[in-house]
Structure 1
Amino acid sequence: MKGQKDWFTGIDYYHNYREKEITVERKIIKEPTKISMHEQVEMVYVLGGEGIIKINGCDYKAEEGSLFCMYAHHFYSISSITSDLKVVIVKFYIGLFMYMSWERHPKDANARLVYDTCPRVFLQGTQRSKVQTLIEDILEESRERRFGSMNLLEYKTLELHTYFCRYAYERIGVDKKQENQVWGVIQRVVLTTSENLELQELAKDLNCAPRTLNTWIKQTCGYTFFQLKQFGKILNACALLHFPELSMEYISDILGFSSKQSFYRLFAQYCKMTPREYQKNCIGNEEVRAMNTGMGMQFLQYIHMNFMQDISLEGICEKFFLKPYTARETFEEIFGDNFNNILNEIRISYACAFLRSFDYTVLEIANMCGFESLSTFQRIFKAYMNQSPSQYRKLL
């Protein structure tokens, strides 16, 4: 930066100073874009539309209220467009904020801001209104170039970046908590189908909007809230059908169906057979088997809800207050297999879904599905699927 020649007029004070290069652009993006490498920091605020922005191989939803901040180490592209994305893009050199940020931060805060934060924050309520007003001010100063516009553009861009840093920094460690909370909601919905659970009430408990919670549920398990309720009813119906003394009217009523006919219709949709056919074809006649199957379905539900975690037969025994011998016997009688094989089969089924649906690496999927190492995952996957995870994904 050159020295100031005239203290009164400020002549040449700003000459050849690249940190003054701030570009602001309002765009409508209709098509996916190629991967972008960039020297400047690029902030993208989504005013409307919907799509997916892929950043360093991970997908992030772009929708109204999304604020992205991509530093030089972020390589990104717009991988898909659901509806035209209306965005404002602000580009600047990070040095501008290195010399203007005087506030003293906690140790390592700056490094965590750049490398540990998520490149996307989703704004709601006052956060969104505050940032949207700021975006409009930035557009106005960039467009009109009135007296002092350059200074105001710097200050407001600094303010926008500071808001992103605040919101992103405060979310470090929160996303994992959110994921656990969402799985808690999923487990509650599946296991308590007799309750008239409402999305609005569950969202209120998590202090988020119903639409946001529905999105989280869909991203986590593949079902919307409504679909999850239906799936939970069928899962519990299968458990109750193992008790022949329970009438179809009772099962239909306790699971919250409006009528026996609606119960039959949904059951056939999921299971490709009627409840009576399920009892006849899928349930043995042995008295002991009928008694134990209810517990077996509880085991199965527990594994489905916790397959990402480090679960064991001992943990199940502690959860259901059983002796190991009883639990092992139940698995053998109901499923014809042992606990470890059932757990691996469930984990591999989820792994296949993740390989089909996401661009996560094989190692990331192995970790997501609860396998202790990549080699263990690959060995078990090949045993079940007769091919490696990479071959399975390639053949798709």
Structure 2
Amino acid sequence: MTSLPRHLTEFPSIDSHFPFHMSINRLTDGYPAHRHDFFEFSLVIEGSGKEMINDDVHIMQPGTFTLVMPYQIHEIISSSNDPIRLVNCNFGMELFTRSSQFQGMNTLLFEVDEEWPAFFQYEDDQYNQVKSLIEDMFLEYNHANMWRKELITAKLIEVLITFDRSRRKQITDHKKVQMKKPEKTLIWDIIQFIHSNYRETLSLPIISEHFNLSISSVSTLFKHHIGQNFVELLHDIRIRHACSLLVSTDLNVTEVALESGFGSYKTFSRVFREHKKISPAQYRKNYTENSSRKKENGL
């Protein structure tokens, strides 16, 4: 893969302590090829078109549910005569990888994409059931009720499990599932390992030794499947965690650096500025001021 589409790494709440966002979008001209380092599911409500995920194309119409895994290249093609209206949900890997409580969800989410299809076409009662569940989740997301995050997470798990059961049944009803491709399985194992251990000391030699691979082999896997090298990915994950600590805790900046896996404040400050263009202290101040402004305006 010599040329990669733009890499989208942000959504409104990705740097918060709850990396989750929902929106309803209308696409008259589709959406250009892109990739990102978070999960995204969508449910088509109106319109029609096509979606390409890596090299696979499927039809989009009311009831089409799609789960896009991190780093997959995907594109939506729609017609202005029949624009697509869909619900989009973005959530960070750390929503589940931070706790061993969700080990089962880690297995579901990190299933290699060649093994199970990335989409499912819901029909009739099943579509109404899933649509109703997602509408409830969207409503909960837009209100500041008690236990909001817990309820959203529970509903997200139900949506994902319903999808996984549906696609598995569809495949096993028609044909046997093909064997996983070793290389693809390996890169997902490595990504999951990094997301589970980024607060510890990590390096290419450590990753290579853990997976019994040469350093050059690991570097090639990153370049081919992710389009980032190991250090870039590790810094992205650590900075995101640092941002969530800055906005949700009273830890001082040095403590945030250590809790995020950085060995020193100096390194943390440099990498943070490279990613966010401001200092960690200014990031926290900006977030606090924006939050206060929203409260004053009743938002």
TM-score, normalised with respect to structure 2 = 0.48
Q: TM-score, normalization: structure 1?
A: 0.37
Greater relative contact order (CA < 8 Å, ≥ 6 in sequence)? 2
Greater strand proportion = 2
